Amino acid sequence: MKDLSLHILDIAQNSIHAGAKLVEITIKESETRLTLTVRDDGCGMDAELLVQAQSPFGTTRTTRKVGLGLPLLRQAAEQADGAFSVESVPGAGTSVYASYDTGHIDALPLGDLAETVVTLLQGSPDLDFAFIHSWDTPTACEAALDTREMREMLGEIPLDTPEVLLWAKEALTEQYNLR
Amino acid sequence: MKTLAELAEIREKMKGKVALREGSNETRIVVGMATCGIAAGARPVLGAFVEKVAQKGLGDRVTVTQTGCIGMCRLEPIAEVFEPGKERVTYVMVTPEMVDRILDEHLKGGKPVWEFTIGAQEKQGE
């Protein structure tokens, strides 16, 4: 995984697979620190599965025996003076946290976060996504997109309509351009 | 600035068109988006398919969808084309640059791009 945006796309697939209705993706950047939270209201994991999910030698996929999504994010965070944890409640949902020092030489670049959000909308138009990325420098601001607000305006029009995806991409890109 | 109100305009414009996309007889392009696919560069490939299917006016008969691990991680990014009544075609190690030819020659022209397929790849490996 080359950047944070690709990790987020990958981690969010777990939430989709867990049957989540809402996936909240929050990135907070202070001057030196980045904190990522991916929280879902999916089926959650019991203690045993939670341990297995964090091991590269555990997976729910049926095509092979390794699952690298969470271990790769953990490695990426820890190599940049970071921290990583997963909390889960069976039947209620799962939260994945990762944080790292943005000034560290091995810190992940952000990547194209707008494209990640659009890819999630395209792949799971029936789910809701709440994305908020806030930063302190140079001035405090944020880029955000909430599909619940979009749906209110769109009614029966699906989120994966090309015109809607283009709108989402442009809306987020515009907010990032203000940085 | 983009506003939510613009979505209401899209809704107005799209009225009546939505039902057309629900047909089950349509062609599907499925891109593998598990950890292996994403790490190998599947996101820009998927993005290129979504954008160019719309651009080339194929949107009413071709849908682009995502799937998990297809099981051949070393050949990712993988895109599979399912056409009604035809055999599945599996494209491997796909790049965004390959998308134009796949859409023009295969989806429009009806002739799969052999050198991009898993068959060609396996032959090369022999």
The answer to whether position B3 is within a domain reads: no
Asked if B68's CB is within 8 angstroms of A61's CB, the reply is yes
B34:A13 CB<8 A: yes
In a domain, B21, yes or no: no
Query: Per the domain annotation, does B6 fall within a domain?
Result: no
Domain assignment of residue B7, yes or no: no
Q: Which of B35, B58, B63, B75 to mutate to test the interface with A (most CBs of A within 10 A)?
A: B35
Closest Cα in chain B to A170:
B2
Put simply, whether B64 touches A (Cβ < 8 Å) is yes
Window from A32-36, A135-139, B73-77, B89-93 with minimum mean pLDDT: A135-139
Q: Give the per-residue pLDDT at A54.
A: 80
Of A6, A161, A170, the CB nearest to B38: A6
Q: Which residue of B has its CA nearest to A116?
A: B43
Give the mean model confidence (pLDDT) for residues B87-102: 97
Residue-wise pLDDT tens digits, A58-104: 666 655 555 788 999 999 999 999 999 999 999 999 999 999 999 99
What is the per-residue pLDDT across B110-124, written as a single tens digit (0 to 9) for each? 999 999 999 998 887
Query: Chain A, 54-93: which have a CB under 8 Å from a chain B CB?
Result: 61, 63-64, 67-69, 72
Distance, in Å, from the CA atom of A168 to the CA atom of A150, rounded to the nearest integer, reads 9
Give domain status of residue B18, yes or no.
Answer: no
Q: What's the complex ipTM? A: 0.88
- Please give the interface size between A and B, counted as residue pairs whose CB atoms are below 8 Å apart: 91
Nearest to A156 among B18, B44, B69 (CB): B18
CA nearest A153: which of B53, B13, B50?
B13
Given a cut of 70, is residue A49 above it in pLDDT? yes
Phi–psi pair at A86, nearest 5 degrees? -130, 135
Q: How many domains does chain B have?
A: 1
Could you tell me the pLDDT band of residue B24, with boundaries at 50, 70 and 90? low
Residue B63: inside a domain: yes
Residue B92, in any domain of the structure: yes
Q: Computed from CA positions of residues B78, B83, A16, A175, in that sequence, does the dihedral angle turn out positive or negative?
A: positive
Helices (H) and strands (E) in chain A, counts: 6, 6
Can you give the pTM of this predicted structure?
Answer: 0.91
Would you say residue B20 lies in a domain? no
Which CATH number belongs to the domain containing residue B59 in this structure? 3.40.30.10
Task: Say what the pLDDT of residue A56 is.
Answer: 78
Instruction: Say if CB A82 and CB A98 are below 8 A apart.
Output: yes
**pLDDT higher than 80, residue A118:** yes
Asked if pLDDT for residue B21 goes beyond 60, the answer is no
Q: What's the domain range around B53?
A: 27-125
The pLDDT score that the predictor gives to residue B22 is 55
Residue B126: per-residue pLDDT: 60
A122 contact residues in B (CB cutoff 8 A)? 46, 50, 64, 66
Residue (of B48, B58, B75) closest to A115 by Cα position: B48
What is the rounded average pLDDT of the residues B13-26?
66
Among the ranges given (A123-132, B13-22, B50-59), the one the predictor scored with the smallest mean pLDDT: B13-22
